[in-house]
Each structure stands twice: as structure tokens, then as C-alpha cells.
A and B are shown apart, each in its own frame.
Chain A
Amino acid sequence: MESNYGITVQGLLAAAVRMATPLLLAGLGGLFSAKSGIVSMFLEGFMLVGAFMGFLGSVLTGSAYLGILFAIAGGMLMGLIMAVLAVSGRANQTILGVGINIFALGITSYFQSVLFGSKRPTNVSVFYDIPIPGLSKIPYIGAIFNNSLFVYAAFLLVPVVWYVLYRTPAGLAIRAVGENPDSVATLGGNVIKIRYCCLLIAGALAGLGGASLTIGQTGQFMENISSGRGYIALAAMIFGRFSPIGVLIGSLLFGFADGLQLRMQTAGTAIPYQLLSMMPYVVTILALVVFVKKSMAPAAMGRPYTKQK
């Protein structure tokens, strides 16, 4: 873990990278569903479920690695629910997303109280920082290479997601579905199947993002541990113009803001801590206002697809 006090460039960079990780994972997941034309409002809920399931899995099995499987499974289950309601049920995707988020908050808080309310598990298996030999010694940015597997995985996923979306036939089909599902249907593609798959992937990645908050850090689950990060990830995606690189930049930006305010709190400034903790949220609004002029969202996003037979 970070052992830097005070505000240093090194510390800020390291914090930015670490705080960006859950946003990045959730954002990349949201990218899959968004590219296929589904509004990714559900990231907050998926993250919460992933956070809880990762925690639960680690407690039950004693292994953080198995906890990851739990997190992915939980996220994919949520993805399936969203798919049934949004793709097959053709309901309003935005409101469904909000509903999923409230439901996830309720169900995770509920089981948290029921299972762990009286006795908090201690010594939960987590992912420890793994320094990369050589790289972690570089001055200033070395701390970046001394992070958990979650962080490394999140950043390595960026080129992977880019390749899948832009250099494979499946990725081409996904992007086409998000722009004009009718085109894909007239070419014999299965729009429903493609959207279901994208939602499952979104669930897996966002669940992973949530798990990074529990078994990737403190090893504790608290009610509403995501605290709006799913929405910030969504903002990062919009801000990043629905591209993997953009999500990366957006996540780093918001992660930086989050890291900065935390450091300032611990460093002890005259600014009241509440005004500091507002910062990531204010930055998010400003980023959306200043940088997002025209929506680069996939053309068919949000419109339920009806197959006529």
C-alpha cells in the first residue's frame, strides 16, 4: 500500500492510477453494452454486486482469486437480468438501469446486514500489491508499477478491448448493431444474441471493477461502497467519446481528482473535508459541460430493437 504522506507528484500519480482502476474496469464494461446500443446506466449496480460478491467469495473460500470468480458471476447474472428486461422486454433502458442500481444497493446492503452485520470478517484474503521488478524502481512513476493485479489487469485490458472492438469480426458486428441494428438483421446477424453477449461482458467487467474496491483494497464491504463510481464511469465513457482510450483518459482524470482530494484530506488543509470530498463530483460535471459538445454515442443507443415476423 501507499506509504506516502503529503502531496507529491509521485503520490498523486500512484493514487490516480489506483483510483482510476474501478472506473476503468466498469467503463470498459459499459463500453461493450454502449457500443451495441444499450444505455449503460446500470454500472453502479453492477459494481456494487461485484464488490459484494467478490468480498463474499473471498470470505467463503478464503481465496481472493475465487472471489474474483464470484464477482464475475455476480456481474454476469446482473447483466443477464438487464438483458432480459432491456433487450427482450424492450423497456426504457435508462430507467431500468436506475432500477437495477437501487435494487443492487438494496440487495447488497441486505445481505451485508444479514450475513455480516453482527460480526465483520477479518483477515479477508485480498490482492496485495505486486511490484514489477525494475519498473517499480523508476523515480516519480515507479509507484504505478507497484500495484495489485486489478490495476495491471485494468490497464492491460484497454488495448485488448480496443482490438476486440476494432479488429475482429465480432467487434465489427457489435459496433454495427449499436449504429443500426436493422442493418445487421437484414444481413442475417442476430441482434438479440449480440446484445445479450455484450451485457454479459459488461456485467463481468463492471463486477470486476466493483471487486477491486473490496478484495482489491481493504478487504471490507460497506453499504454503498461504490458511492456513485458507476455513474462516474459512465461519465468517463461519455467524456471519452465511447472509445477505449477515451475511457482510459476519463478514468484517469476522475481518479486523479479523487486521489487529490483524499491526499488533501490526510495532508490536513484548512479546507473542510466535505468540500474536498465534493471534488470528484464537481469535476465530473465540469468535464461533461466543458468537453462534451456533441454526443458521439452510437446512433441506435437507447432504442429498443423490435424484430418483426
Chain B
Amino acid sequence: MFKAVGELNLRRFFIQRMIMGLLMENEETTSANQPLVEMRAITKTFQNVIANNCVDLSVNRGEIHALLGENGAGKSTLMNVLYGLYAPDSGEIYLNGEKIIMKSPADAIAKGIGMIHQEFMLIPTLSVIENIILCMKSDNALKLDLQKAAKRLVDLSSRFGLDIDPWAKVSQLSVGEQQRVEILKALYRGTNILIMDEPTAVLTPKEVDDLFNVLKEIVKEGNSVIFISHKLGEVLNISDRITVLRNGKKITTVSSKDVSREQLAKMMVGREVFLQYDRPAVSVGKLVLKMSDVCCNNDRGLVALSNISLEVREGEIVGIAGVDGNGQMELAEVIHGLRKVTSGRIEINSVDTTNCSSKFAIEVGLSHIPENRQIRGLVLDFSVAENIALINCEKPPFTKNGIYFDPQNAVRVAEKLKNQYEIKCSNVNSPVKQLSGGNQQKVVLAREIYRQPKLLIAAQPTRGLDIGATEYVQKLLIEKRSENMGILLISSDLDEILAISDRILVIYEGKIMGEAIPGKTSVVDIGLLMAGSKVSEESRGKE
């Protein structure tokens, strides 16, 4: 009988524990039932584009919530609504269960919502501390107390592990440090909902790890982070839950534990996406580009390129990998004659083009898809046809006898290219600023490739393009490679570099850190090179 009672007690004990466990779970879900932020049925239209179509989003306390989608899906728009920059056409926002209406970011900041945009909103000529207290309500309108603020900043930064010198001028900080300033700016104002728009785009792999550690510290204190990204790996790594947007609509919200990369990719794009290409074997031909010990300075007079030596041959795609801001822009510019070298030699098609003019480089056989198409590559106020004629406008087919420039010639060429490249525009006489980003890039591509260059520089060719356009561009580059074009691909998108390059050169602080072969060199090693570290002898590729 004693044994029977013991068994009964044991069973009761276990049942009790089970019930208590269930009760505790319920308690958690009740408090988790009250999300910190809820956006319901948000719709926002710009002219005739529906950027957000009845989107719901809920973010819990202490959570890192990722907003995933490709370019143009509506992620930034949704967050700009949450931050009070845009007023939604319809829908509501709830904070702690209470409905809030925000007329400007000032309201959002007052409610504890902070946003760090993709392009940093810092003032380079001012110091860190001045940037941080900018536009904050001050006790004394007649005096700017920077000392007191700096002290508070230092306390805050040590709490979260974000080291920063309050008195440094922002223009002298690295990109990673600037991001820290942005985060501190938000935390200083008492943000407990931190929105970050594509924060890892400008960071090295190590800086990404540091950032994730900081974010984990931030949410430990009960704050929430909304993390906008299109990078599947990171999103799975750092976030608790993921909301996927596509074409302005919300597709689903899942826990990051319950979903795979492939599933996410499919939700993001709506179809199977491979972005893997067949690269037919092409025998490499003669030199189209040779750079020997090239050095140059950037606009601020600091060294941008340091003894760069590289070669590109016909029929190969050489990828320059690296985080933005390590000299890629200057590299394209010196080859094109848009920037003077301080030493070294450049040869295009075996012709010395060191410090030549832009025109000369073009005549020797260079084509260049510039990194910033709207500023460098296109005259937005010109029509599509005029942009096609922009290069070599004084030569046939645009000007037949050297004096008379017949616009119809440009129109004819543009029509042909419009069909060939499937450029979507009402007609070739419409101003190019009306075209979408992808179609604008197609205009640039068409113009550059139409000249049948021997050497093509493609700088960030798929930046800002959606998946369809990205695929198109990458396939086109591979096609041209088969036609014996030598391509120098400069991209901060490592996936892109890995997908289409024959060889990879990693650039860091203006130096080539090493060469890698896609498939042979590990991504980790490439990441190390990108961050400036040397790699072990074994895994180093040729040269």
C-alpha cells in the first residue's frame, strides 16, 4: 500500500508539474500576446506604384525581427511609415496596444522608435557628439553643452560595447564606426525599437559579427530590433522571426528556426531562384588590361590605391571583391581616365593609357558600366536615344560628316537596342529618368556593349536591381565572356562575384590582398582577405 501511495504521489507530482508548466507557457504567451509594435493593414502608394499593400507586421519585446524581401519589395517604405517619415494611405500602428499617429520622425522618436537608414544620415563635417545631440530638445537654448553630452555618450557606449570617440570628426571615421554612431544616436534618444535598413551592406564579415553581438546586447535589455535585409544567411543567423515581403505584400511571418534558406528564397522571389550559371569553358586570349603598381589618391587627397597590379584577358571575368569604399570606385576611374594616377602604368589593349583622357580610353576599346548610373552613366534629362548617343556623338552613326548631328540616327540605333535588350520604355524619345532602375541599367549596358569593347568594366552592375534584372545582367556578362570580351567585375556582392567570376582579386584599403578561385578558395578565406587579414599559405590561390 505504501508503494501504491508513493506511485500515486509521484504521478500527481508529475501531473502537477505538467500543469504548472502549461500554465507558465500560457503566461509567457499572454505577455507575448501583447506585441510591442503592431502595424495593421498598412497601405502606401506613390503616384501609381503600390509600395505597401495592406501589410501587417507585429514585433515582440526583446526580439530581433527581420524584414526580408528583394529590392523594391516595400521593406524600406514600411519602416519609413513606422518611423513617421511617410503617412500611410490607410492602416494603423499600435504601440503597446495603444494606437499612435505620427506626423513626423519627431513623434516617432518621442515614442521610442529610432531608424538607421541605409545611407547614413550623419554630417561629416561635424563631430560625433554634435551629430548625436543634433535636434534634441535642449535645456538651454543659448548654450550647447557638449561636455555633459559627451560624458553621457561614453557611459552609453560602454554599456553596449560600442567604442567611440565623441570628439572625432565623422568624416574621419570608418564606415563601421559611422554605423556605431548611428546606433548610439538612436540609443541616446531612448530608442527601444531600433529599425536598421540593410545594415550589413557596407561591413566586412568581422564587422557584421560585431554588429550582431551589439544587437544581441540591445535586445537583452528588452528592446526590439527590426532588421531590413535581402541577405538570407544573415537573416537566418541573427533574427528570431522573419517577415517576408514581395511586391508590396506580406507573404508570411515565420520563426527563423522553422524555415530553410531555400524556402525563404522561394517566398522572397515567388519562384525557384538559382543564380547559378553554366560557365562554358573559354580559352583565355590576349591581354586587354594590364595595371602595374598603380597608385592614386581619392578626392580628399588620401591614398586610395596602393601598388595595384592586375591583368585581365580576353574571355575571362575577373572579379574584384571587397566591401564598398576600399578603392573600387577609384580603380574604375583610373582605368577610364577619370582620375590621375600618382604612379604606375595602365595599358588597355597593349596601348599605354596611363593618365589618358576619358575619350582616349574609350577609343582604345574601353567600355564602362559605372557604379552610379544616375550620376555617372546617364544624363537623366536626356531621352533614351540621346543617352545612347552620349558616347561618340561626333562619330558615325550619330554624326555622319562630322558637323551635322541628326537625332534620327540616334533614334534608329536606340530602337534597335530597345528591342535587343528588351528595354521597357514608352518610346526612345522619353526622358530616361522615367525608366525604372533596371531599365536604366539596360540603357547603359546597351550603349556600352554596342561598341563591341575589348575591355568592359562592370562596377556594381546589379546594385538596386530586382532579381529578374539581376539575372539578366549576370547572364549577359557571361555571354559576352564567351564572345571573348575581357570583363573586370567590381562588386560588393560576394555572391555575385562567386557566381560569375573566373578569378577573384580581393581589394582592401586600396591593395590587392590576394587572389581566389571560386569553388577552390573557401568563402571564409575570401572574407578574411576582404577584412584585411592575410590567409594561410595553403588556401591561397595562384599569385
Contacts and interface: CB of A to CB of B under 8 A. Distances in A.
Is any CB of A less than 8 Å from a CB of B in the complex? yes
Interface of A: 167-173, 175-176, 179-180, 182-189, 299, 308-309
A188 B122 CA distance: 14
A175 B123 CA distance: 9
A179 B141 contact: no
Interface stretch (B101-109, B206-214, B381-389, B468-476): B101-109
Nearest to B107: A188
B260 to A, nearest CB: 36
Interface stretch (B59-67, B130-138, B397-405): B130-138
A170 to B, nearest CB: 7
A179 B130 CA distance: 13
B134 A168 contact: no
A183 B85 contact: no
B376 interface: no
Interface string B93-116: 000000000001111110000010
A178 B457 CA distance: 36
B86 A168 contact: no
Interface string B120-148: 01111110001001111010011110000
Given A167-B144, A168-B144, A169-B144, A184 B86 contact: no
A36 to B, nearest CB: 13
Given A172-B134, A173-B135, A309-B87, A183 B122 contact: yes
Interface of B: 83, 85-87, 104-109, 115, 117, 121-126, 130, 133-136, 138, 141-144
A172 B143 CA distance: 11
B85 A308 contact: yes
A255 to B, nearest CB: 29
Contacts of A169: 133, 136, 138, 141, 144
Contact of A309 (B86, B125, B126): B86
A188 B141 contact: no
Contacts of B117: 186
A186 B141 contact: no
Contacts of A184: 134-135
Contacts of A180: 121-123
A187 B144 contact: no
Nearest to B87: A309
Contacts of B138: 169
A179 B83 CA distance: 22
Among all A-B residue pairs, the 4 with the closest Cβ atoms: A188-B106, A183-B121, A187-B135, A189-B135
A167 B146 CA distance: 9
Contacts of B125: 175, 179, 299
B126 A186 contact: no
A169 to B, nearest CB: 4
A186 B121 contact: yes
Contacts of B133: 169, 172
A183 to B, nearest CB: 4
Contact of A176 (B106, B107, B134): B134
Given A167-B144, A172-B130, A187-B134, A179 B123 contact: yes
Most chain B Cβ neighbours within 10 Å, of A172, A180, A309: A172
Given A169-B138, A179-B123, A187 B86 contact: no
B134 A185 contact: no
20 contacts: A168-B143, A169-B141, A170-B141, A172-B134, A173-B134, A176-B126, A179-B126, A180-B123, A183-B122, A183-B123, A183-B134, A184-B134, A186-B83, A186-B105, A187-B105, A187-B135, A188-B104, A188-B107, A188-B135, A189-B135
Contacts of A186: 83, 85, 105, 115, 117, 121
A175 B105 contact: no
A169 B136 CA distance: 8
A187 B109 contact: yes
Given A167-B144, A308-B85, A308-B86, A188 B124 contact: no
Contacts of A185: 85, 105
A180 B134 CA distance: 12
A168 B121 contact: no
Nearest to B119: A182
Nearest to A179: B123
A181 to B, nearest CB: 10
A172 B105 contact: no
Most chain A Cβ neighbours within 10 Å, of B83, B121, B135: B135
A179 B108 CA distance: 23
A186 B134 CA distance: 11
B109 A188 contact: yes
A309 B143 CA distance: 33
Nearest to B46: A308
A179 B134 contact: no
Contact of B143 (A167, A179, A188, A299): A167
Contacts of A171: 144
Given A170-B141, A189-B106, 17 more contacts: A169-B144, A172-B126, A172-B130, A172-B144, A173-B134, A176-B134, A179-B124, A185-B85, A186-B85, A186-B121, A187-B105, A187-B109, A187-B135, A188-B104, A188-B108, A188-B109, A308-B86
A36 B340 CA distance: 34
A16 B124 CA distance: 37
A189 B136 CA distance: 9
A10 to B, nearest CB: 39
Contacts of B121: 180, 182-183, 186-187
B141 A168 contact: yes
B298 to A, nearest CB: 14
A179 to B, nearest CB: 5
Contacts of B109: 187-188
B144 A188 contact: no
A279 B85 CA distance: 52
A287 to B, nearest CB: 24
Contacts of B105: 185-188
A171 B126 CA distance: 12
Contacts of B106: 187-189
Nearest to A175: B126
Nearest to A169: B138
Contacts of A176: 123, 126, 134-135
B461 to A, nearest CB: 27
A297 B123 CA distance: 14
B179 to A, nearest CB: 15
Contacts of B134: 172-173, 176, 183-184, 187, 189
B307 to A, nearest CB: 27
A298 to B, nearest CB: 8
Most chain B Cβ neighbours within 10 Å, of A183, A299, A309: A183
